[in-house]
Structure 1
Amino acid sequence: MDPSKSKTINRRNFLGLSALGLTSFTILPSWRMPNGVRIPPSDRVVMGFIGLGRQGLGDYGNFTKSAGIQVAAGADVDSLKRERFKRRVENWQKSAQVSPRCDVYESYEEILDRKDIDAVSIATPDHWHAIHTIHASQAGKDVYVQKPLAYTIQEGIKMVRTIRDNKSVLQVGSQQRSSPEFQRAIALVRSGAIGHIETIYAAVGEPPKPFDLPEQPVPASLNWNLWLGPLSNPKVHYHPDLAPPISLQPEENEKIWGAWRWYRETGNGYTSDWGAHMFDIAQAAIGMDGIGPIEYIPKGYKGTAHNTMKYANGIVMTEQDFREEGGKGIRFNGTKGWIKVTRGAIECSDPSLVTKPAAADPKAPAPHMQNFIDAIRTRGNTIAPVEAGCSTNTLCCLVNIAIELQRPVKWDPVTTSFGDDKEAAAHRLNHYDYRRPYSL
């Protein structure tokens, strides 16, 4: 792929080109939006999917609920997962009276080379997010990328610059931002309903542990070298927990989520896996999207009870249980009361704030995937834009850096730097040297 050529394509023409790019269409129906507006075939959003494992299939399923999309291609390093995806997409598109054709590739570049594809959905391991997103944006594609935005701090910063330089639309897969209970909590905090926020409890879980999986033979269906991509740590070898296998005859899907996220050498643990959700909501509620804390103190340092994050405005966020019964969620503590929120539930010290119906909001967000599709058409911002994803990813990385260094770490979110802290700046979660021939 020649990114310099791809960038010359006028992005506004993509939706028109997409109607011409798939010549096998026999039925081109209009699509009806939830508000009753019909979308003509020429205004379809044609998508490609990069990463076809458990998360990628889940994202695909949610995108099928969005009006006016066509799935043209998928890419994965496992041939069995490519075939599974192709079967599912073609069956769905037949039922939707759309041309069923869905091409699959081992190399994601082949998706980016196609001018009939408007947007990509990325659900690969975190160490691939930056390369996939940056190359997609340079190729003129809009991007839906799973959370956390990146594996390292510098990757996230580079992704922000690239997305904005290329005027791409990006949605981070932090879908809680589109959920009613979290929207309600954010609105209440922003309105001052519980007064000035003093502390926040965010329960996300444990940091990553050292890689300790025994090496096992690589399945014939998997290109393990391509799965590794830019990862340069020689300790990382194949184990089925990292890339859970599937079968097609008989069909048997993944039994676990990819365990790469639980190890320092391949992921950022629950700190990022759930922090990209709960820390993200906390930042949105207190107006810190694109900014973040200025100091990170690890649990155990001079008696510190919890991993602690301090904001310049005096708010302190700690990683700890947000309610007695545990679980993942957030508690906002204000001068006039508190709010607890988790998936599917919200509580408040003043029950009337959450028991009475919320006022109708004409600007209330659409479902997360639909919000992305709508933004492609309007060229506006999504509810989880790249800057928000970057600041939350930076926060998660900094928590883990402080934990591993076993001391406080200070960060300037304006200059995006550690000041004179050379040890923190040299940490792999700030930046690491990619394995050749990959580069950021």
Structure 2
Amino acid sequence: MELRDRVAGLMEQARAELAELVAIPSVADPRQYPPEECARAATWVLDAFATVGFTDARLAETADGSQAVVGSRPCGDPDAPTVLLYAHYDVQPPLNEQAWRTPPFELTEVNGRWYGRGSADCKGNIVMHLTALRALGDDVPVNLKLVVEGSEEQGTGGLEAFVPPNADLLRADAILVCDTGNASVGVPAATVSLRGMVNVVVSVEALASEVHSGMFGGAAPDALAALVAMLGTLRDREGNTTVTGLDNSGAWMGEPYPAEQFRSDAGVVEGAALLGDGSVSDMLWARSSVTILGIDCPPVVGSAAAISPRARARLNLRIPPGTAPEEAEKALHQHLLAAAPWGVHVTIDTEATGSPFHAATDGPAYGAMAAAMQEAYGRPMAKLGQGGSIPLCNVFAETYPDAELFLMGVEEPQALIHAPNESVDPSEIANMALVEALFLQRYATARG
């Protein structure tokens, strides 16, 4: 039986397994969900991979208290290449549960897609791995290693801290980082570029306390107005990010992202313009962008006729490959301080930074993967960037400088990862499982 038929025959089991996993609310934030849920998901992953040959799989404690599932599956040939399979079992919180059309922790089919938190990011990729390995059975001509982490969405760095001191445990010739996805359903892709990031909280203080806006407004400095003025300098009229000291003229050289497709994928309202003077691909993958994640200020309901003495905002600056996070952090701090009006007091606290990543694409793993995607999908592999950050990729690259990193997975724009109504197209699980199985077969000879 051909691999494609084997995968097709496994999709009923894949759906049942994904339903079990989605039903576990494995949000790695004990303030929101009990830590026992992540422990339950870790045990599920451990048991599932034991059934596909990872008989030594175990739970490894990481620095942030999360548990990673690690294991190996030798093929019996010490000269065969080694492939590391990666995914994560923790998920984002459901956010506004009223915005979900289906229960967030219950896998539900609607119009051919499977809905539920984690159905794509990243439990769908766990099921993809399992389906690929079941389709191959005993015919896996490479050595396999496995790591499935439990705190990726929280960004607390458990696995990043675990890898360097345990380098031999996960050492491989090729690393499949399965936490991204395709250009669209049916369009296979490799993610070759990731933006880094700088997260800061900027606080403004102008008065000792609230004062009456009628008695003091017009002369007393307004902290909220000062903050708004500062934030307004971060973009120009076209929407380009304008942090002083950051070059923002980059151009994306890979697969384009059609503007109309982006409008649909992002849900841009009728009449609203896309931002920036570059293409969509330029703005997403080759240039910096700043986002205001949140503002602390009086809410409209319950607000009084008073001048705000203090206000603060949380900012997320994404940076493309070629920009160092420490340089971007310094530039953002200096820009905000220089933009502050009226002598208000400003403090800036950096929450987190992460480096951009760019993958090499000229090795045997990329050749084998391109051929596998062509065979599975019947069309060439596209090369994409991703605006999000995966700091683990830089840790892998630094720890294993000779390894090829390949970013792939079942996610695509319609999946709405991190948002209400996350879903996965089951055809992507099937096709990407076939891709992985074909790759493991091809890579054994491609590397030689």
Measured against the shorter chain, the TM-score band is under 0.3
TM-score between the two structures when normalised by the length of structure 2 = 0.24
More strand by share: 2
Higher relative contact order (CA 8 A, sep 6+): 2
